[in-house]
């Protein structure tokens, strides 16, 4: 039996290998727990496909269309279909995790911002920007006595700052 004694050198302890910073995974988004709990309460499982669709929405603030989401998810999950993305978006909308944003007659866009907010739509470039609501809706508008607001969609329209700057720099 070959056991180390005080006269024999002990082997150096093994150090765990550490991946370089570029290959480390990003810290988990704290919103994932909120989303997982919300979808569980609605009785719906957060499947791998739904998670990819939700993550695609959480990574952007430009309110993508279903086709935009499909293209982003397809880069990570080549086997996903457009129909599956539409189904995931519908399920996530029904569970309250995302909101469809309908503007004019164009394609619906989707928003993962769970805070109370409206949207600013640029008439020139089509950008959709979140606008925080700084006070409750019932303090903003007088709702008819006895009425209950169950849903509100607030859309402001105009020109975004880049379009205003572009139009002011254009010679007349």
> For 9-17, which contacts have Cβ atoms below 8 Å and span 24 or more sequence positions?
none
d(CA 112, CA 132): 14
Q: Which residue has the higher pLDDT, 172 or 128?
A: 128
CATH architecture classification, 115-172: 2-Layer Sandwich (3.30)
d(CA 49, CA 84): 8
**Tens digits of residue pLDDT in 44-103:** 888 899 999 999 999 988 899 999 999 999 999 999 999 999 999 999 998 888 999 988
Q: Which residue has the higher pLDDT, 51 or 12?
A: 51
CATH architecture classification, 44-114: Orthogonal Bundle (1.10)
- Looking at mean pLDDT, say which of 9-13, 24-28, 107-111, 135-139 comes out highest: 107-111
Are 44-114 and 115-172 in the same CATH fold?
A: no
With 0.85 as the threshold, say if the pTM is over it: no
Q: Which residue has the higher pLDDT, 38 or 72?
A: 72
Short-list 52, 42, 149, CA closest to 97: 42
Band of residue 31 on the pLDDT scale cut at 50, 70, 90: low
- The residue extents of the domains of the chain are 44-114, 115-172
Residue 127, pLDDT above cutoff 80: yes
Residue with tokens 């480390």: 24
Q: Which residue has the higher pLDDT, 125 or 23?
A: 125
């Amino acid at each position: 039996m070959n056991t180390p004694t005080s006269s024999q050198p002990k082997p150096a302890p093994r150090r765990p290998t550490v991946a370089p910073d570029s290959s480390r995974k990003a810290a988990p988004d704290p919103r994932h727990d909120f989303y997982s709990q919300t979808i569980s309460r609605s009785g719906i499982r957060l499947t791998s496909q739904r998670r990819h669709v939700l993550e695609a929405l959480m990574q952007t603030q430009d309110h993508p269309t279903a086709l935009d989401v499909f293209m982003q998810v397809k880069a990570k999950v080549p086997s996903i279909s457009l129909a599956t993305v539409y189904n995931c978006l519908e399920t996530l909308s029904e569970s309250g995790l995302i909101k469809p944003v309908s503007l004019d007659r164009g394609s619906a866009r989707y928003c993962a911002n769970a805070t109370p907010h409206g949207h600013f739509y640029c008439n020139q470039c089509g950008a959709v920007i979140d606008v925080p609501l700084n006070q409750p809706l019932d303090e903003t508008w007088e709702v008819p006595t006895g009425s209950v607001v169950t849903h509100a969609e607030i859309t402001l329209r105009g020109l975004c700052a880049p379009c205003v700057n572009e139009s002011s720099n254009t010679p007349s």
